[in-house]
Structure formats: C-alpha cells, structure tokens
Structure 1
Amino acid sequence: MRQVLLDLQSGSIEVEDVPVPAVTKGVVVENAYSLISAGTESSLINLAGQSLVGKARSRPDDVKKVLQKIGTDGPLPAYRQAMSRLTKPEPLGYSCAGTVVRTGTDDFEVGDRVACAGAGYAVHAEYVAVPKNLCVRVPDGVSFREAAFTTVGSIAMHGIRNARVTVGENVAVIGLGLIGLLTVQILKAAGCRVIGIDIDREKLALAARLGADAISNYDGLTERMKVFSPFGADAVVITAATPSSAPVETAGRLVRDKGRVVVVGNVGMNVPRDVFYEKEAEVVVSRSYGPGRYDRNYEERGIDYPIYVRWTERRNMEAFLDLVQQKKIDLDHLITHTFPLDSAPEAYNLISTGKERYIGVLLQYSPNGAGAAGTVTRLAEPEARRREAPAGARTIGCIGAGVHAQSALYPNLPGLPVNLGGVATATGLSAHSVAKKYGFAYCTTDYRTILDDPGIDAVLIATRNDLHAPMAIDALRAGKDVFVEKPLATEIDGLRGVVRAYNESGKRLMVGFNRRFSPLARRMKEFFGNRATPMVLHYRVNAGQIPPGHWVHDDEQGGGMLISECCHFIDFMQYMTGARPVQVYARAIEPTGNLRKYDNFQATLAFDDGSLGTVTYTTLGDRSYSKETVEVFCDNAVGRITDFRDLELRRGGKVSRERRWLAQEKGFAEELLAFVKGEEADFAGSVATTLATFQAWESIDTGAPKEIDLGRVGL
C-alpha cells in the first residue's frame, strides 16, 4: 500500500510502498479520504526541516535525556539512539474515513463506513489499523469527504464542552482557521450567539456566511464587543495558532466577570494576572478531543468509560457526525483543496509556502486502492552497505522493531555472519523503515510470514513483553532456533508453554540476557575463577522514574519492572556464580502517589552453591548518578562493575581498573554473535531466572520467602 511519510532528518515528504498493517483490537480500514491538519502537521514538518541544533533548541527535554544517557551509557549509545529516532520515518495524519476491510472486534463489521481518529493510527495511507474506540460509524447521508473532518471536529467539540456554554450565551471565537470555523458552527447549533475574531478578512467573511452573529478584526474590537455583549463574553474559545500571547491577553479583555476562557489552539500562555484576577475568570487548556485521549486502556485496549463520563473522544466524534448529518455543519465551504494521495508532497508544499489560500485540505484515495493490499513488501534493492554473508551462513528473520531493538540490537546486524531474510512489525511503516535501513529482503506485518518462510532458520523476537512467550512457542514449533528478548515470559503458564515447546522441538532458544556476554563481566568471572568460597553479590539499579502510562507497567503487556528488568540482574548472578537460585525473599515499598508497588524493591536470593545475592531496584534516585553497579565479594577479593563502563578488581591490596570512554559494553553484539554461531544457550538458567522473578513477586505479596523449583514448569 501507499503511505505518506516524513523524513525527520531532512523534512521532506515522500509517498512509499509499505505493508498493510495488521489488525489487533480494532479494524483495518481502506481509506477514502484523509484530512491534513495544517497546524499540527506543519509544526512537525518545520521541526524536521531544522538543523540538529535547531531540533535541539526546540526539544530541550529530549536534549536533557540525551545528556543523561551520555553520562551513564557513553556518547556512542546516546548518539545511536538519538539518530535511530531521526532516521525512522514519521507517519503523518490523524483524521480519515473509509470502509472496514478487516475486523478484530464485535463493534464493527466488514463493509462498515467509518471515521477514524488518532495520530499513528488514522494516518495518510491507503489502509490504516485503528483501535475500536477511535472509530465511529458514518451515518447515512454523510459522505466520506465530510467524515474525514471528524477528528478535527471533535477537537472543536471538546473545546466547547470545556467552555460549559448554555443556550443563549454569548461566545467569542479567536482564530478562524479550520477548527475556529467548525467551533463557530457547533456553537450556533448549541443555541449560542457567536462573534468571530481574526485578522484575515476572507476568514471573517466566511465565518459570517457560516452563521457568526458578528465578526471583527482587532481594530475596533472593544467597541464591537460592547455592541455584541455589553457585559462581555460568557466564554471565549481560542482556536488561533501563534507563539504570541496576544490571543490570551485579548480573551482576558473580552470575557465577562467570572467568565470562561478555553485555549484550544497552540498559543503563548503568558496570562496577564491582573486582568484575569479582577474578573476572576477561569482559564482551561482543552486537551485534544475528549476523555480517553492519552489513556492506553481506552485507546489501545478498547476499555470504554462508563456513561457518566458523558463525552469521551469517541462520543464527541459521533456527536460531530450527527450535526453533519443534520446539516447543522457546512463542510463544503471549508474544503478548499483535494489532492490524490501520490500528490501529497504538493499538498504540503501548498501549506508550507502559503501560495494559495487554504482551509480544509483533503487527500483522496483510489476507490480500490492504488497500491498492493498485501502484508508483505519486498525490497528491490537492499541497502548497498549490506555486506555479503559467508557461504552457508544462516538466514535470520526478526520480529519487532521498538526503540530497544533499533538502538541496541539491530545496529549489530550488519556485522553478523548472517543473511537477513524478513522483518515483521505490527505497523507497515516500522517494518519498511527497518528493512530498508539494514537490508532485509522483505518486510511484513504478519509475523507468521517469518515463521512460514522455509529459507529462515533462526528468529529474533524483540516485541512487547507479553508477546515473547507465545511468539517463541510458535517459532520453536515452526522449527526455528529462537533468540527472544527478556523477559522470557510474563506469567507462569506462558513459561510452562515455552518449556514444553522447547522440549518437543529440539531447537535452541536463547534469552536476551546480554550482560553475561559483556567483556567486563567475563573479565570479572575470570578474576574469581577457581574460587574457594561462595559469593556475596549486590546488584544496585538506580532506574529513574518511568512514566506511569508506559506500556511496561501494564500487567498484560509489560509485567512491571520486577518481571521485565529484575531478570537481567538475577541472570547475571547465575552467570557469575555458576549456580542456580533456589530461594528468594523480596520486599517492596508500598505504592503511594506515583510509586508503583513493584518498582522499588529488594530481592535476596540464595543459590545452590551457598552464594547470596541481593538486587536493589529503585526509581527514587537522581538520574545523574550511576544507573547500574554490581559488587561481588569472594575469597578476600572484590569486583565491581559500574554502568558496564568501569571495572574495578581488588585483591591483596592491589587494584586493577578498566574504563570504557565511548560506550558501555553490555554484551549486545556478543550475545547475537553467540546465537548466530550456534553456541548452546543456558536455557535452564533462563527458565530459573524467569521463575525467580515470579517467585519474588509472590514473596512481596505474601511477605514470605519462596522456593524456586524448576519442576513447577516442567524442567
């Protein structure tokens, strides 16, 4: 299929062939029209067109994160991660309409006419995969070209709801672009009197044509406002887009005592306190298109709010379409340009240059789809830098292309003695960009294509945590050797399934416990070779806060930090001791505020050789401090690794130190090389590690130590 992509490095717009996305908890829609949001999309394009310095100045928070990463990981990993984000094309668009061609929910059937919303979902592409709560049916009598405005219309709708207007109230709308003109019409449909304010005469005239009771530029505005409403506006809705705070200042002068100012557009927010204080006016910044926005449970998992949360984003979308069906909103006068999909660069050029006046700019799609509708796209010419693999080299297929995969794993692929077969991700864009960058033969949105490919004999799985176990099981049963990122499983039944598939398949499985492959770790293990006593180990992790909404905290998808991260440190202890964990006792800080129960804990493990290890994991520290420090005490000697950049070994008063200046040595390249060369992995150890994290969780819940018995999972 064809999709509009933004190159974040150059700012150029391209239309490329990518695989049709997979359906999950929603629908796949064949687009008829999509709407270009001139303000939102232009700001992203303008950012992409800036130099690296300009991008840094525009995103100071991102720069701070990069500097923190340099401090812990070194400049090379920080650079690679930053560049991996810049080299990944960005999808554009968030409002479209079309026909359901595949469904994964009972809410919709194939053939339904729907309007779709959401950045990253309702994009400019021939086919889009959209969660069910971001889709609504298009009523009879409403065309696809009208329905393509639904997302933007719901933004206007939510802004008006935040203004809490009632029939007969006087409302001022500052900024008469697309959202402003929609706001005027919705307010009129709600029984309000409206004055539209803008500097553009043509937009003022159009607002009057669409029902505004009064219009005004800024010259003489005070006098016109007195005529319109002597006591001031009951509410002011700001839909302008400007870095200036002038709209907010103007709103303060126009609003009545105890009135309401709602900021919908992206404007400067230097609020004049004295003006708003004297009127005791309320200021609200309207967040997108209603409750549910930015809530993963609502948007991704399809969990709706009770009806007492009356106007969710989906219900706002439905309400907007109802007004369109009732002919209370006129969209014909707002559609100024329609471009075919392949002319998208021309459409964006129109917007960026302003060579013609525009309001609503649509992209139109062929009724039957101009591009292929398959889930596989073959790359005609892989990247020239892809070197030839040795004769008889294995062919590897990859599943997943998240931040970790693209910053830590995939950069090592060109240096491996393998052929790169296919790469699969849920979205066609990420699959295509990774395949193009690293030289895969094809990309797909159906991971079973990788498993069914007889030319692929090894699979790398780097998806979200909850998919690791089921995909590893499928890959083993398909007769492939498997490299799967940690954790191996997020619950015990999944772990049992992996063990059963491993025992039945006779294939190899390696878990991405990379730290044991670090050259510094191997140097430390050699230092303690031929030891005479058990070890005492302490692994301290200063993790820093991870946003509460991040998917890793989701019990279904991520398993929490104890399951998804602690496994690394337990595996490291197994490697260092050469022993199996047999018991774990763990305690955690009780949740309070933003602190989650399993994010700040200590787990003490007993090993079958008498060694003891403690993992201290906390999100309460300062990120500028070292992230990982592991200390090993044994045979009157001490070893310490800090952030896998510093190694210190002490024995008999003598100190040996090693320092890596440019980058951490976490063992990513070494583990992948071991996998493709066919080295036997410690599968039983990986299972023991995973089971230990489950038992640590149970220990926290019960307050008692827990035994780690591999017999529970079939080993």
Structure 2
Amino acid sequence: MKQVALDLQSGSIEVENVPVPTATRGVIVRNAYSLISAGTESSLINLAQQSLVGKAKARPEDVKKVIQKIGTDGPLSAYQQAMGRLAKPEPLGYSCAGTVVTTGSDDFEVGDRVACAGAGYAVHAEYVAVPKNLCVRVPDGVGFREAAFTTVGSIAMHGVRNARVTVGENVAVIGLGLIGLLAVQILKAAGCRVIGIDIDREKLSLAADLGADVVSNYDGLAERMKAFSPFGADAVIITAATRSSAPIETAGRLVRDKGRVVVVGNVGMNVPRDIFYEKEAEVVVSRSYGPGRYDRNYEERGVDYPIYVRWTERRNMEAFLELVRQKRIDLDRLITHTFSLDDAPEAYSLINSGKERFIGVLLQYSPNGTGISGTVTPLPKSDLRRRKVPAGAKTLGCIGAGVHAQSALYPHLPGLPVHLAGLATATGLSAHSVAKKYGFSYCTTDYRKILDDPAIDAVLIATRNDLHAPMAIDALRAGKDVFVEKPLAADIDGLRGVVEAWRRSEQRLTVGFNRRHSPLARRMKEFFGNRASPMVLHYRVNAGQIPPGHWVHDDEQGGGMLISECCHFIDFMQYMTGARPVQVYARAIEPTGTLQKYDNFQATLAFADGSLGTVTYTTLGDRSYPKETVEVFCDNAVGRITDFRDLELRRDGKASRERRWLAQEKGFAEELLAFVRGEEPDFVGSVATTLATFLAWESIDSGKPQEIDLGPVGI
C-alpha cells in the first residue's frame, strides 16, 4: 500500500510503498479520504525542515536529554541515538474515513463505513489499523468526504463542551480556521449566540455565512462586543494558533465576570493575572478530543469508560457525525482542495507556501488502491545486500524495530556474518524504513511470515515485553534459533511456556543480557578468575524517572522496571560469580505521587557459591550522575565498572584503569556475534535470572525472602 511519510532530517514529504497493517484489537480500514491537519502537521514539517541547530532551539528539553546521554553513554553513542531517531520517518495524519476490510472487534463488521481518529492510527495511507475506541460508524446520508473531518470535529466539540455552554449564552470564538469554523457551527447547533473573531476578512465572511451572529477583526472589537453582549461573553473559545499570548489577553478582556475561557489552539499562555483576577474568570486548556485521549487502556485496548463519563472521544466523534447527518454542520464550504494520495507532496507544498488560501485539504484514495495490498513488501537490492557473507552463515529474520532495537541492536547487523532476510514490525512504514536502512530482503507487518519462511533459521525478537515469551515460543516451535530481548517473559506462566517449548525443541535460545558480553565485564571476570572466597557485589542504578504513562509501567505490556530492567543486573552478578541465585529478599519504596511501586527498590541475592549481591535501583537521583555503577569485592581486591565506559581494578594497593571516551561498551555487538556464530547460551541461567525478578516482586509484596527453585518452571 502507499503511505505518506515525513523525513525528519530533511523535512521532505514522500509517498512510500509499505506493507498493509494487520489487525489486533481493532479493524483494518481501506481509506476513502483523509484530512490534512494544516496546523498540527505543518508545525511538524517546519520543525523537520530546520537545521540541527534549529531543531535544537525548538526542542530545548530534547537537547538537555542528549547532553545527559553524552555524560553517561559518551558523545558517539548519544549522537548515534539522536540521529537514529531522526532517521525514522514520521507518519502523518490523524483523521480519515473508509471501509472496514478486516475486523478483530465485535463492534464492527467487514463492509462497515467508518470514521477513524488518532495519530499513528488514522494516518494518510491506503489502509489503516485502528483500535475500536478510535473508530465510529458513519451514519447513512454522510459521505466519506464529510466523515474524514470527524477527528478535527471532535476536537472542536470537546472545546465547546469544556466551555459548558447552555442555550442562549453568548460565546466568542477567537481564530476562524478549520476548528474555529467548526466550533461556530457546533455552538449554533447548541443554541448559542456567537461572535467570530479573526484578522482574515474571508474567514470572517465565511463564519457569517455559516451562522455566526457577529464577526469582527480586532479593530473596533470592544465596541462590537459591547453591542453583542454588554456584560461580555459567557465563554470564549480560543482556536487560533500562534506563539503570541495576544489571544488569551483578548479573551480576558472579552469574557464576563466569572466567565470561562477555553484554550483549544496552540497559543501563548502568558495569562494576564490582573485581568483574570478582577473577573475571577476560569481558564481551561482543552485536551484533544475528549476523555480517553492518551489513556492506553481506552485507546489501545478498547476498554470504554462508564456512561457517566458522558462524552468520551469516541462519543464526541459520534455526536459530530450526527450533527453532520442533521445538516447542522456544513462541511462543503470548508473543503477547499482535494488531492490524490500520489499528489500528497503537492498538497503540503500548497499549505506550507501560503500562496493560496485553504481551509479543509483532503487526500482522496483510489477505490481499488494503487500500491501493493499484501503484508509483505520485497525490497530492491542495495549495497548492504551485496556485502560478502561467509558460506554456511545463518539467515536471520527480525521482529520489532523500536527505539532499543534501532539504537543498540540493528546498527551491528550489517557487520555480522549473517544473511538478513525479513523484518517484521507492527506498522508498515517502520518496517519499510528500517528494513531498507539495514539491508533486509523484505519487510512485513505479520511476524508469522518470518516464522514461516523456510530460508530463515534464526530469529531476533525485539518487541515490547509482553510479546517476548509468546513470540519466542512460536519461533522455537517453528524450528528457529531464537535471540529474544530481555525480559525473557513478563510473568511466571510465560516463563513456564518458554521452558516447555525449549525442552521440546532442539533450538538454541539466547536472552539479550548484553552486559555479560561487554569487554570490560570480561576483563573484570578474568581479574577475579582465581578467587578463593565468595564475592560481595553491589549494582547501583541511577535510572531517572520514566513517565508514568510509558508502556514499560503497563502491567500487561511492560511489567515495571523490576521485571524489565532488574534482570540485567541479576544476570550480570550470575555471570560474575558463575553461580545460580538461590534466594532473594527485596524491599521497595511505597508509591507516592509519580513514583511507581517497583521503581525504587533494593534486592539482595544469595548465590549458590556463598556470594552476596545487592541491586539498588532508584529513580530519585540526578540524571547527570553516572547511571550504572557495579562494584565487586573479593580476595582483598576490588573491581568497579561505571556506565560501561570506565573500568577500575585494585589489588595490593595497585590500581589499573581503562576508559572509553567516545562510547559505552555494553556488549551488544558481542552478544549478537555469539548468537549468529552458534555459541551455546546459558539458557538455564537466563531462566534463573527471570525467575529471580518475579520472586523479588513477591518478596516486596510479602516482606519475606523467597527461595529460587527452578523445579516449578520446568528446569
């Protein structure tokens, strides 16, 4: 299929041929029309077109993160990660309409006409995969052209709801772009009197035609407002887009005593205190298109809110379409341009140049499609594909292409003695761009195509945590050697399933515990190679806070930092001691505010050789301080690794030190090389490490130490 993509490095718009997405909890829709959001999409394009310096100035918080990365990871690693993010094309669009062709939800049937919402879902593409709560049926009498406005219409709808208007109230709308003109019509349908405000005479005229009772530019606005409503506006809705705080200052002057100001557009927020204080006016920033937005359970999993949360984003979408059906909203007057999908770059050129007036710009899709219609896309041969690979080398297929895979794993693939066959990711655009970048033969949105490929004899799995175990089981059953990122499983049942599949197969399974492969770790292990006593180890992780909404905190997808990250440090201790963990005792700080329950903890482990190890994991520190420090004490000697850039070894008063100035040596390249060469992994050790994290969780909950027994998981 064809899809519109933004190159974040150059700012250019391209139409790429990518695989059709696959359905999970929602539907696959063949698009008829999609709406370009001139404001949101143009701002992203303008940012992409800036130089690196310009991008840095526009995103100072991102620059701060890169500087912190330089301090911990080294300048080369930080640069590679930053450029890796820019190298990934960005999908555009978040409002479209079309026909359901595949359904994974009881709410919809094949053939249903639907309107879809959501960045990353309702994109400019011939086919889109959309969760059920971001999808609504289009009522009879409403065409796809009109339905493509549904998402933007629900943004205007939610802004009006936040204003809490009632019949007969006087409302001012500042900014008569697309959302402003929709807000005017929604307010009129709600029985309000409306004054529309803008600097553009044509928009003022259009607002009047669409029902605004009064229209005005800023010249003489005070007098017109006084004539319209002597006591001021009951509510002011700001739909303008500008860095200036002039709109909110104007809103403060227009609103009545104890009135309401709702900010929908992206405007400056330097609120004049004196004006709002005197009127005790209320200011609300409207969040997108209703309750449910940014809620993973609602948007991704389809868990609806009870009806007393009356106007969710999906219900707002339905309400908007109903107003369109009733002819209370006129969209024909707002559609100024329609382009074919292939002409999308021309559409964005029109918007960005400003040479021609526009309001609603649609992309139209061919009913029969013009791109491929399958979930697999072959890629042309590239220089990377022509590289020499030793005879008998393995053929590798990869699943997943998230941030970790692209920054830590995939950059090493072209240098490995391996044939790169297929890459599978959930979205076609990501699959295409990453597969093309690293020299894969094809890309797909269906990971089972990788498992069914007889040419592939090894699979690398780098997806979200909850998919590790089921995909590893599927790959083992398909007769593939498996490299799966940590954690091996997100719960005990998943771990048992992996062990059973491993026992039944004759395949190797390697878990991505890369730190044991670091050259610095190996030198430390050699330093203690002839030890006569147990070790005492301390692994301190100054992680910094991860936002509460991040998927790693999700009980289903991530399992929290204890499951997702602590396994690394337990495995490192197991590698260093050469002994299995036999007991774990853990305590954690109770959750308060933004602190998650298992984000600040200490876990003490006893090993079979008598060694003791403690993991201290905290999000409470300063990010400028080293992130990872591991210390080993044994036989009157000390070893220390800091951020896998600095190794210090001490014995008999003498110290040696190795430092890496440009980048970390975390062992990613070495672990991948060991896998493709067929080296035998310590699978049982990986199971012991994984089980230890689950039991650490139980120890925190029970307040008691837990014995680590591999028997119940099948070892």
Normalising by structure 1, report the TM-score.
Answer: 0.99
Q: Does the CA contact (< 8 Å) of 2:264 and 2:286 recur in 1?
A: yes
1:657-668 pair list within 5 angstroms:
657-668=657-668
Q: Deviations over 1:391-445 (max 9, x none)?
A: 2211100000000000000000111011100000011011001111001000000
Which residue of the partner structure matches residue 641 of structure 1?
641
Which residue of the partner structure matches residue 214 of structure 2?
214
Q: How many percent of aligned residue pairs carry the same amino acid?
A: 88
Which residue of the partner structure matches residue 702 of structure 2?
702
Which residue of the partner structure matches residue 326 of structure 1?
326
Q: 1:167 to 1:383 in 2, by over 3 A?
A: farther
The runs of 5 or more residues in structure 2 that have no matched partner are: none
Q: Distance in 2 between matches of 1:176 and 1:201?
A: 10
1:279-678 pair list within 5 angstroms:
279-384=279-384, 387-678=387-678
1:53-202 pair list within 5 angstroms:
53-202=53-202
Q: 1:383 to 1:431 in 2, by over 3 A?
A: farther
The secondary structure found in structure 2 opposite 1:329 is coil
Letter in 1 for 2:246: A
The runs of 5 or more residues in structure 1 that have no matched partner are: none
Letter in 2 for 1:567: C
Q: Does the CA contact (< 8 Å) of 2:19 and 2:429 recur in 1?
A: yes
Q: Does the CA contact (< 8 Å) of 1:386 and 1:414 recur in 2?
A: no
CA positional deviation for 1:597: 1.2
Letter in 1 for 2:632: V
Q: Deviations over 1:329-355 (max 9, x none)?
A: 000000000000000000000101112
The secondary structure found in structure 2 opposite 1:333 is helix
Letter in 2 for 1:666: K
The secondary structure found in structure 2 opposite 1:531 is coil
Q: Does the CA contact (< 8 Å) of 1:386 and 1:438 recur in 2?
A: no
Q: Distance in 1 between matches of 2:520 and 2:294?
A: 41
Q: Distance in 1 between matches of 2:653 and 2:368?
A: 77
Q: Does the CA contact (< 8 Å) of 1:531 and 1:634 recur in 2?
A: yes
Q: Deviations over 1:73-120 (max 9, x none)?
A: 111111111111101000000000001111111111111111000001
Q: Distance in 2 between matches of 1:619 and 1:378?
A: 44
Q: Distance in 1 between matches of 2:437 and 2:388?
A: 16
CA positional deviation for 1:71: 0.5
User: For structure 1, which segment, 202-211 or 275-284, has the greater mean C-alpha deviation from structure 2 after superposition?
Assistant: 275-284
CA positional deviation for 1:629: 0.6
Q: Deviations over 1:271-318 (max 9, x none)?
A: 111111111111111111011111111111111111111111111001
Q: Distance in 2 between matches of 1:212 and 1:418?
A: 66
The secondary structure found in structure 2 opposite 1:526 is helix
Q: Distance in 2 between matches of 1:688 and 1:640?
A: 24
Q: Distance in 1 between matches of 2:669 and 2:78?
A: 16
Letter in 2 for 1:28: I
CA positional deviation for 1:370: 1.6
Q: 1:132 to 1:175 in 2, by over 3 A?
A: same
Letter in 1 for 2:9: Q
CA positional deviation for 1:237: 0.6
Which residue of the partner structure matches residue 13 of structure 1?
13
CA positional deviation for 1:371: 1.4
Which residue of the partner structure matches residue 229 of structure 1?
229
CA positional deviation for 1:381: 2.8
Q: Distance in 1 between matches of 2:242 and 2:540?
A: 47
Query: Is 1:38–2:44 an aligned residue pair?
Result: no
Letter in 2 for 1:395: T
Q: Distance in 2 between matches of 1:238 and 1:565?
A: 44
Letter in 1 for 2:216: S
Which residue of the partner structure matches residue 246 of structure 2?
246
CA positional deviation for 1:384: 4.8
CA positional deviation for 1:609: 0.7
Q: Does the CA contact (< 8 Å) of 1:30 and 1:101 recur in 2?
A: yes
Letter in 1 for 2:687: V
Q: Distance in 2 between matches of 1:203 and 1:196?
A: 9
Q: 1:712 to 1:314 in 2, by over 3 A?
A: same
Q: Distance in 2 between matches of 1:496 and 1:484?
A: 16
CA positional deviation for 1:386: 5.8
User: For structure 1, which segment, 355-364 or 273-282, has the greater mean C-alpha deviation from structure 2 after superposition?
Assistant: 273-282
Q: Deviations over 1:658-709 (max 9, x none)?
A: 1110011000000000000110000000000001111111111111111111
Q: Does the CA contact (< 8 Å) of 1:382 and 1:441 recur in 2?
A: no
Q: Distance in 2 between matches of 1:91 and 1:20?
A: 14
Q: Does the CA contact (< 8 Å) of 1:15 and 1:342 recur in 2?
A: yes
CA positional deviation for 1:382: 2.9
